[in-house]
Structure 1
């Protein structure tokens, strides 16, 4: 890999890390926000859920936009939107306005994730496994060390510091990206600029985007309302049903239009893309269940301080950072499948270890499970991206990358649901044991999925 390719990946990676960093740092800010805005946990937790929901919707939308308007333009715009939200959020007068700015921040960072992957897929032709490993170092490393960084920032300053920390990353990424990302000529862009609004709406499939949003939001809200120790309300059931009906209408619409927002027929032509996204949802369901579950277990059940919890969680991030470059070289030599199988086995072992923790287990024993999941996260991050690059033709890489990022968010959202079902209203040793058993079963399913998936042929770059 040449020097220019490395600097291109660094410029893109510095922007891409902002989404996982901001989605993970906020987890340790919840108590401070409760105190600052005088709200209970249920309301404050929407600072997390709003980010994931907005990102899940925005990822494929900006992928579609970038396929038409140009990826460099969308990437730079995403940095500016992220900068504006990060400057405004610390001064939000109400919690509602903070949520709104958090949604804006999610959209901006989602533009960086989806478009950044597409840029690397197109511009870096050689050693794509190594390229994916470098992106994984930025993304997975940022997600894994987010709680530690957030804890340090809160310890020295206050909750607003987690927004100000974005500013240097945005500035450096913008300057590097302006210089390093080639300007891409998009054939449709000049034509669309001269279109009427009605024709532009049709090309962008505005109706499809609205149906996708109108179906996904109520469906996710209904899922997030489920609590293990409470009956499901009729209202939330109806909200979920309405979401499913709208999603069904969205699928029918996408199969009929000539320029669909999400090209269902293209994905049917390349089933490996769909399979990779399903695997990625399961991978992130496992990872984020551990990511959100372990800190609560340590603080609520074992009475460990926030600071020491952050120190222990570093095991997850460091293991992921060690695994990522090794995975890149391995995947360039042997393809994604061996690495993904190894990652699934590590998740099985880590889940079994969690299921056997008890009151007498030393705190450091938690690091064994964190290390297993950290190494698997590095292998999965590189392996899944390499598999996506290999499976996706150039003409739909923007949307494919966006859906891939949305799969990460869906896995994170489902992890909250799994934790709520297993734990009920309170973390306990019994609930944590059940959670470990559930993760073991899911990890075994992932192992089978990784084994059963067939490697697709490499698609041409041009």
Structure 2
């Protein structure tokens, strides 16, 4: 691999790592933001919701935009968006403005994730598998060390530092990307002849709007009921708007020629549907632990941010180490055994969470994080392999988009679960209830993976 390709991978890697880095650092900041803005867990959870809702919408949209306007241009614009949002977020006059800048940051990081892999796949023609695995390490590594970095930054420089830390990565990535990513002249003619109306239809702007409205209003309705403790007319109105938007979205997606989420594919390929359901459930489990344990350690065990970040490092490192080992195992034995073992490990970890209290040995927490980390490594490889096996080659692009949407829906559901269970503050009773629910979810995953599997016009899982 020549020097130009190495620098190309570094420029792309520094850019795409900003999405998992910023989504993981925030887990350590939840307790601090609660204290600073005097808010309950449910309200502060919107700092998580907003990032993942924006990512779920922005990544497939930006993927389509890159086909129209060029991947290099979208990548560079994404870096500028992250730079501006990271500079302005610490100046937020209130929590609402912080949410706005968090959404802008999510859109910017999504622009880079959506096109980063494609840039390397197109422009690095030698040792592509090695190149793509390096980018995967950037993504996994950033998620692994995010809580630790967040803990150190917040302890010494308070919460604004988790936004400002992006600046050197953005500048370095922009300089390298400007010099190493080739220009794509051919995109000009493609996008130049397209009207705004045709472009909006191509990306399915009505579907995106309906999806966003449905998701946000339903979340607001559910969380508001939990916050106030009673069901009011306003809650029913907001929930009704969400249900109407959801029904309209489903009807629209079934009719439009270029759907944001191709729902008909789920009926045509049932095994692909099962993979996405499991992936959404897996991410609900993983991120409920990912966001729940830091608050337990800080609010119930009274650990500071640095100690919390060090303990959370167990989760990411175990995931990072187990991923390549899982890849070798799955290549030899298939996905079924790996996914069953993953579900068993998550069940064991969930049971450990039920046993936690104010005086539990820290080894129990670390063990729960370790088994969930190993499980996540198995799932990150196994679910992707299962997706490829259950999807026809001509649909792999569409199914990958659905797969990413399932990931973000799982993370959103995990935050919703924590907000509903914990309410105003974390408690031992709340962490026990979370453990019970996660045990039920993980047990259902074991059952799903033990069920007889059918072929749907493609290779069975």
TM-score class normalised by the smaller sequence: 0.7 to 0.9
Number of residues of Structure 1 aligned to a counterpart in Structure 2: 458
Q: CA deviation at 1:13?
A: 3.8
Instruction: Summarize the Cα distance change of 1:273–1:156 in structure 2 as closer, same or farther, 3 Å threshold.
Output: same
**1:20 is aligned to 2:20:** yes
Q: Is the 1:350–1:368 contact (alpha carbons within 8 Å) kept by the matching residues of 2? A: yes
Aligned to 2:372: 373
Q: Deviations over 1:66-120 (max 9, x none)?
A: 3444444433332232222223323334443332221110111122233345556
Aligned to 1:427: 426
**1:63 is aligned to 2:63:** yes
Deviating more after overlay: 300-309 vs 126-135: 126-135
Aligned to 1:98: 98
Q: Is the 2:27–2:294 contact (alpha carbons within 8 Å) kept by the matching residues of 1? A: no
Instruction: Summarize the Cα distance change of 1:310–1:202 in structure 2 as closer, same or farther, 3 Å threshold.
Output: closer
For residues 382 and 123 of structure 2, what CA distance do their matches in structure 1 show? Answer: 19
For residues 455 and 9 of structure 1, what CA distance do their matches in structure 2 show? Answer: 38
Which aligned pairs between 1:205-224 and structure 2 lie closer than 5 A? 205-224=204-223
Which aligned pairs between 1:184-199 and structure 2 lie closer than 5 A? 190-199=189-198
Which aligned pairs between 1:378-397 and structure 2 lie closer than 5 A? 378-389=377-388
For residues 36 and 231 of structure 1, what CA distance do their matches in structure 2 show? Answer: 27
Q: Deviations over 1:230-280 (max 9, x none)?
A: 334442233223212212212222222233333334554444443332222
Q: Is the 1:390–1:456 contact (alpha carbons within 8 Å) kept by the matching residues of 2? A: no
Q: CA deviation at 1:45?
A: 4.1
**What SS does the corresponding residue of 2:202 show, helix, strand or coil?**
helix
Instruction: Summarize the Cα distance change of 1:91–1:428 in structure 2 as closer, same or farther, 3 Å threshold.
Output: closer
Q: CA deviation at 1:421?
A: 4.1
Which aligned pairs between 1:406-445 and structure 2 lie closer than 5 A? 406-423=405-422, 425-445=424-444
For residues 326 and 456 of structure 1, what CA distance do their matches in structure 2 show? Answer: 29
CA RMSD of aligned residues (A): 3.7
Aligned to 1:314: 313
Q: Is the 1:9–1:135 contact (alpha carbons within 8 Å) kept by the matching residues of 2? A: yes
**What SS does the corresponding residue of 1:259 show, helix, strand or coil?**
coil
Q: Deviations over 1:328-363 (max 9, x none)?
A: 333344444433232222111111222233455312
Q: Deviations over 1:207-232 (max 9, x none)?
A: 22222222222123234435389334
Aligned to 1:304: 303
Q: Deviations over 1:170-196 (max 9, x none)?
A: 334445555666767888x73442133
Deviating more after overlay: 388-397 vs 374-383: 388-397
Aligned to 1:280: 279
Deviating more after overlay: 207-216 vs 362-371: 207-216
Aligned to 2:448: 449
For residues 311 and 90 of structure 1, what CA distance do their matches in structure 2 show? Answer: 25
**What SS does the corresponding residue of 1:29 show, helix, strand or coil?**
helix
For residues 211 and 116 of structure 1, what CA distance do their matches in structure 2 show? Answer: 28
Aligned to 1:160: 160
Which aligned pairs between 1:35-434 and structure 2 lie closer than 5 A? 43-117=43-117, 134-177=134-177, 190-227=189-226, 230-266=229-265, 268-358=267-357, 360-389=359-388, 400-423=399-422, 425-434=424-433
